Amino acid sequence: MSNSLYQKENLKSLNQLKNLVPNQLHAFSEFNSNVLKEGALTRKEKELIAIAIAHVTECPYCIDIHTRSAKSEGATLEELVEAVFVVSGVEAGGVVSHSTHITNALNPDADDALYGRSNLKNINYLKKGSPDGYKAYSEFSSSVMKEGQLSTKFKEIIAVAVAHATQCPYCIEIHVKNAEKNGASHEELSEAILVASALLAGGSYAHITNLIQAYND
C-alpha cells in the first residue's frame, strides 16, 4: 500500500459503488452529466466553473479530472488560471466582508439579525484598523475580476458560483448584482450554481475512495 493518500489509481475503488449503492451512484451520475452538458453556458465554460469550484473544495481528484476535461473543450492554461484567481478573490472577499460582524459583536445592543445587508457599512472597521492591508486587498480583488482571457461577465458568473460554494451571503449579493450588470442571464447564473452544486457533491463522491481504502486497511 502506498503512503500517499492521493493517487489517481485510488479512484478504481469507486467501481465498488456499483454494488454498494447502485441507485445513489446512478442518480449522482445523471445529476453530474446533466449539469455539465451544453446549455446557456458552453461545455467549456462549465468546465472552467468546475475547475474554479474544485479549488474551493480543494479536491485533487476533481482538479485533475476537470482540468483535463476543460483542456479537451479548448480551455487554455491562461483561462484556467484566471478562473482560479477569481476563486482567490472571492474567498479573500468572504473573509473581508465577514469582518463587518466585529462591530456588531462588540455592541451589546446590536440587532439579533446576523446577516443584514446594512452590515457592509461596517467595512470601515477593517479599513481603519489596517489601511495598507485593506488597500492591497482591494487592488487584488479588483485585478482578478478585470477583463483578461476571460470576460468580466464570465468572471462574475464564476464568482456567483464560488460565492454559493463558500456560502457567503455578502459575496452572493455583490456578485449576482455585478453579473447582472455585466449581462449575465438568469439561465447562465442558474447553470453556474448547479455546476457548483455538482462539484461539491463530486468532491464528497471522489473521496469515498479514501473511505474505502481506510476501511479495508
Q: Is residue 3 part of a domain?
A: no
Residue 35 included in any domain: no
Would you say residue 35 has pLDDT above 90? yes
CB 161 within 8 A of CB 49: yes
Q: What is the mean pLDDT of residues 22-38?
A: 96
One-letter amino acid for residue 116 of the chain: G
Q: What is the pTM of this model?
A: 0.92
User: DSSP per residue over 39-88, as a string?
Assistant: SSS-HHHHHHHHHHHHHHHT-HHHHHHHHHHHHHTT--HHHHHHHHHHHH
203: cell is 468532491
- Provide mean pLDDT across the span 183-196: 98
Residue linked to cell 472571492: 90
CATH number at residue 102: 1.20.1290.10
pLDDT at residue 142 greater than cutoff 90: yes
The tally of domains found in the chain comes to 1
Computed over every residue of the chain, the mean pLDDT equals 93
Q: Is residue 26 part of a domain?
A: no
CA separation for the pair 87, 90 (Å, rounded): 5
- The radius of gyration computed from the CA coordinates of the chain, to the nearest angstrom, equals 20
Write out the residue range of the structural domain in which residue 113 sits: 40-216
Report residue 197 CA to chain centroid gap: 9
Each residue of 58-87: pLDDT tens digit?
A: 999 999 999 999 999 999 999 999 999 999
In this model, does residue 140 exceed pLDDT 60? yes
Helix (H) or strand (E) segment spanning residue 197 = helix 186-216
Is the residue at 22 inside a domain?
no
Task: Tell me, yes or no, whether 117 lies in a domain.
Answer: yes
Q: Which residues contact 63 (CB under 8 A, 6 or more apart)?
A: 51, 54, 55
* pLDDT greater than 80 at residue 139: yes
Closest by alpha carbon to 183, among 28, 40, 25, 23?
A: 40
Of the listed ranges 15-19, 98-102, 155-159, the least confidently predicted one is 98-102
Q: Is residue 210 part of a domain?
A: yes
pLDDT score for 103: 83
Is position 55 within any domain?
yes
Asked if 40 and 187 touch (Cβ cutoff 8 Å), the reply is: yes
Determine, yes or no, domain membership for 131: yes
Q: How many CB atoms lie within 10 A of CB 64?
A: 15
Min mean pLDDT across 189-193, 195-199, 207-211 is at 207-211
Q: How far apart are CA 103 and CA 125, in angstroms?
A: 7
- Residue 48 neighbours by CB distance under 10 Å: 27
